[in-house]
Amino acid sequence: MAVESRDAIYFDRMYARHDDPWHFRTSTYERNKYAATLAALPRRRYARAVEIGCSIGELTFLLAQRCDNVLGVDTALAALRSARRRCARYSHVRFEKMHVPAEWPAGAADLLMLSEVLYFLSPRDIAAVAAHAQSCLAPEGTILLVNWLGATDSPCSGAEAAERFIAAASEFCSIGLQRGERYRIDVLARKQAVPF
């Protein structure tokens, strides 16, 4: 039987039980991971960031300080309501409801953030996200993958999700990898933009 991605109902149920089901606001792990995520970005500033699976907007809030425009997308309306409140002070941040990869943001981005989202997807859908990334990322753009390395009940482990994305995204190469005890951060760029 084929493994299926988590559907919208799964996330709606998570947010119905708790407005911050993964403790993004309060977790020391999350604070440390966000700091490492921002430190991994190879540029100080980006023109347009797209964050897939923005949840309640905690990372979005931090990206807003490094980007001229930020689009956060999520499948859960409850999460998006929280994200809009969190980022209300930033006029250059907006949010849209989308269920990736069937839906994908229009336009180019020079930063694509995929933080703790890929392992909720099936291998087929991870490949579809990689194809979308190849079509939307600006020539000098950056992709950041952040993946939990612990046990999950998701379609893929975090490590498997990262490796599947990298294998499917043949136009990109790794320009950085950080492995912590509990997460990994992969930084990718277009091969033609990387001097060898």
Q: In the prediction, which pLDDT does 153 show?
A: 85
Query: Helix H segments across 24-96?
Result: 28-40, 58-63, 77-86
Q: What pLDDT score was predicted for residue 15?
A: 97
pLDDT at 2: 66
In the chain the domains, ranked by start, together with CATH numbers, are 28-193 (3.40.50.150)
Residue 180, pLDDT score: 83
pTM of the model: 0.96
- Give the residues of the chain that fall short of pLDDT 70: 1-2, 195-196
Start-to-end Cα distance in the chain: 43
Specify the pLDDT at position 196: 57
Distance, in Å, from the CA atom of 142 to the CA atom of 146, rounded to the nearest integer, reads 13
